[in-house]
Structure 1
């Protein structure tokens, strides 16, 4: 082992010598042309970074000089050097902070990206689009024992993952604000947003809709930072203490080894919520409408549901009005043949949705759907329509499974059943882990057949379609009416299939939602109102502990 380590050190020193030799033969004119100083733009970095509170970057750099690694000093300044010995940009400490903060930014924006081993996958190809010498920083952080890597890369499937080394992984986090920004000039909604599909930034189309942007621009949506942060920290410790079986489930990641969904690493969840809490505190709401299914995403849609109980608007308590069993309920419109027609008489048809959603329904698929609906006995759907309208479809399936199959399933398992039915590939059916899907196909065969047909050419089609329908109804019908009929006085925020407002406007908002949903879907909806308050927190034992320390 010593011989191997000695050989690696020798190779590294030879590479460093080659780097210095290369620099020494460069002319000043060539060098100036090669050097570009570019700060990471706000649209990438945000306004701050969260780093371990026991990490002093300045002292670390003194202890591990940059020039011993992939950096070099020229005329008193330090620059990056890549593997091809090309000089990059001038070293910027805040760029290093940004690299560290990626471990928080990524899970904060994509909560379902959280793995169970604590590693955060960073797509270096995407980062290098705007941060060319990113690898010099990440390699320095690994070589000097701040970060560790899983060295696991799968083409088109998984990027290399990173997390803090043990010395820093267990430390709490501290906010460090970038010096180039004035916190008082933060824009609540960014003008440009990242398009994951096209791998580029583009104008934020949310800004075209004042009935959605106005309430963010007031900078009055706040969070109890102290309590929310303490709650997050104590909850992380509680999950670790209770053990793996008590970690949250990640329904976007499947473990083939265990034949079950993966779990979410509690410390990564903590980093994510800390990042979101800080964003709300400074009114950087990160609100945008995506150009895939046109959902509105924001810091409050990204955060875990429990933490919304710490939110207030201008000091007023909020209430969330939610569509019960929303995805199964929205399915009802798809059984109406008129929905699929170009000259439909319905308030909403496939041709009212964005063109990219329309394009998912190819001519051949449209014919298959039309043929099926033409022969379908509409009376066979009465129970499904009734139960989704009442908001009791999960409980109804629990009852049927218990009576017909002599098996007790929890409500959580039934929700998982729908998740698998609506969003999994049609090929996922005969495997043992597809048991819940097969159960559904036996209970509601007519519903399952339409689901199967819609997904037959491209399995994400149904998910995209349902989410686009949801967005059209909630954002551009309900919210627009609330804005207009409420004389622009009723604060609203959306969380996909729910609308959040202050308590005094609960009935007003609920009535408009019920009217629009019935008008568009064709059957009444069941709405549930939940007041966002500390009493609604799942872990009241933690809240009690927090209140005792504050009092």
Structure 2
């Protein structure tokens, strides 16, 4: 956020237009060499005639931004999904950015998704079939520099230490250095023949393109960090986008990493949210001010919440639900009111896919994991959803669901932002900051609600996490240890094939 600059007479100087809209981008980015070479050749043969001087690095920036946005938690299947580009950032870098995008479309490097609705959604882009086929044959990355894009409005940070979020998160980001290493060859070999992963038997061709990009970023020390108050406020790094199958190959200073997850984290922070509203906790008031920036919306919402929270029916439901959460068995207890769908040895749910515009089946290896998926749907679905599990849960906890729906009255995404903001402030700004102050030599890495360190500090970290979560929330948290160990999905597949051959025959595997 821009700050006022005061003269010696304490008179505020009016900020220039450039100072108000300065943009920071990373200097080093990874681009698949096959795409870079193709663009370089096209520029030579079909040189663009733009209004302003051509900067080929901006082509690289657009391509790597699409890859990075496809390589997110939301895109779990790591498909070639259409992703939006931030027009404000693009325009800040190059005022004629549309000419660059149009040229890439004309040269069939990318294409614009057809489901764009003017005034209702942003333009979205993905790679052409030709580029995809090339990536499948050769997805080796190349490091390129973005320094040529620096200007009065653009700051090019040459290291993670120069990123805008480094100073406020130094206690975590300072550990992204040469000691953070991935066994690159081991990771590549591990996925070379992988065909079974996360309870599914898939064609991993495009996933492997993204996977190689993930491990290459870590291997080549292309570190980045972002944290945006306007969205989830989570700290995003090269580790938060790294798939769990690569965790065993990561070490720090030659030591393996051990992590601790907050069990049932989203339900846990939901309990903290409700308790804080009842007690008028300033922490929650500040977060609500951030999410609901219009006072009348927040005021009306709080009035509706109080009307519901003060009822005897709500208090009775809430006591049961709170006990489920703090006992650490919410998902197990949910099976008592929701019968998980099961067929031929596997559990599954149907989840509406916004991109495909229809429900897709998600397979789970246990009823607990099935209920975890169901609960996330309960938390983040729209108020008018037709999801059968939502309505089953609502019959059992009508007042609790009514409270959750109040947070979604303006936009159902607001509710997820609230819980993610609470999680981030708790884990990033309180728990890890307190630990770093007490043990400044302890390496700390976060992946949202999970905190990891090296083996020699694991027991200390294990003891401190629940202590400081309690200080922040007043609630006793349960944590689970996660050793960054190998998961032999190929062996898991063979075992399941022996146990449930009819399921794999039924599904054509």
Give me the TM-score of the superposition, normalised by structure 2. Answer: 0.73
Classify 1:294/1:368 alpha carbon distance in 2 versus 1 (closer, same or farther; 3 Å): same
1:318-365 Cα shifts (integer Å, max 9, x gaps): 0110011111122222332x54555x5xxx642354741474771121
Q: 2:473 pairs with 521, 524, 527, which one?
A: 521
Alignment of 1:469-508 (within 5 A): 469-486=422-439, 488-508=440-460
SS at match of 1:456: coil
Aligned to 2:174: 214
CA distance in 1 between partners of 2:347 and 2:123 (Å): 40
1:423 aligns with 2:376: no
The question of whether the paired residues in 2 share the 8 Å contact of 1:319 and 1:500 is answered with yes
Classify 1:351/1:509 alpha carbon distance in 2 versus 1 (closer, same or farther; 3 Å): same
Aligned to 2:184: 225
Aligned to 2:213: 275
CA distance in 1 between partners of 2:160 and 2:266 (Å): 30
Classify 1:142/1:392 alpha carbon distance in 2 versus 1 (closer, same or farther; 3 Å): same
Aligned to 2:290: 356
1:536 aligns with 2:487: yes
1:148-186 Cα shifts (integer Å, max 9, x gaps): 55555332325243314435243221222326779xx95
The question of whether the paired residues in 1 share the 8 Å contact of 2:28 and 2:158 is answered with no
Classify 1:537/1:154 alpha carbon distance in 2 versus 1 (closer, same or farther; 3 Å): farther
1:101 aligns with 2:64: yes
Between the two proteins, the alignment pairs up a number of residues equal to 432
Aligned to 2:352: none
1:428-467 Cα shifts (integer Å, max 9, x gaps): 2xx2xx1011121123334223212332344233222211
Structure 1, unaligned runs of 5 or more: 1-40, 72-79, 82-86, 193-203, 248-264, 543-551
SS at match of 1:170: helix
Alignment of 1:437-456 (within 5 A): 437-456=390-409
- 1:134 CA drift (Å): 4.4
Structure 2, unaligned runs of 5 or more: 1-22, 149-156, 341-345, 349-366, 494-509
1:276-319 Cα shifts (integer Å, max 9, x gaps): 32222233321232213422111111222332232211111001
Aligned to 2:93: 130
1:388 aligns with 2:316: no
Alignment of 1:111-130 (within 5 A): 111-113=73-75, 118-123=80-85, 125-126=87-88, 127-130=90-93
CA distance in 2 between partners of 1:267 and 1:453 (Å): 43
The question of whether the paired residues in 1 share the 8 Å contact of 2:260 and 2:451 is answered with yes
Aligned to 2:309: 373
Classify 1:450/1:275 alpha carbon distance in 2 versus 1 (closer, same or farther; 3 Å): same
1:88-123 Cα shifts (integer Å, max 9, x gaps): 21353x444444434423213x34257887254353
The question of whether the paired residues in 2 share the 8 Å contact of 1:357 and 1:465 is answered with yes
CA distance in 1 between partners of 2:328 and 2:302 (Å): 29
SS at match of 1:530: strand
CA distance in 2 between partners of 1:278 and 1:373 (Å): 50
Aligned to 1:75: none
Larger Cα-atom Rg: 1
Aligned to 1:12: none
Alignment of 1:196-345 (within 5 A): 204=165, 206-216=166-176, 218-235=177-194, 238=195, 246=201, 266-292=204-230, 293-336=232-275, 339-342=277-280, 344=281
SS at match of 2:254: coil
The question of whether the paired residues in 1 share the 8 Å contact of 2:407 and 2:415 is answered with yes
CA distance in 1 between partners of 2:293 and 2:115 (Å): 36
Alignment of 1:180-195 (within 5 A): 186-192=158-164
SS at match of 2:452: strand
CA distance in 2 between partners of 1:370 and 1:280 (Å): 48
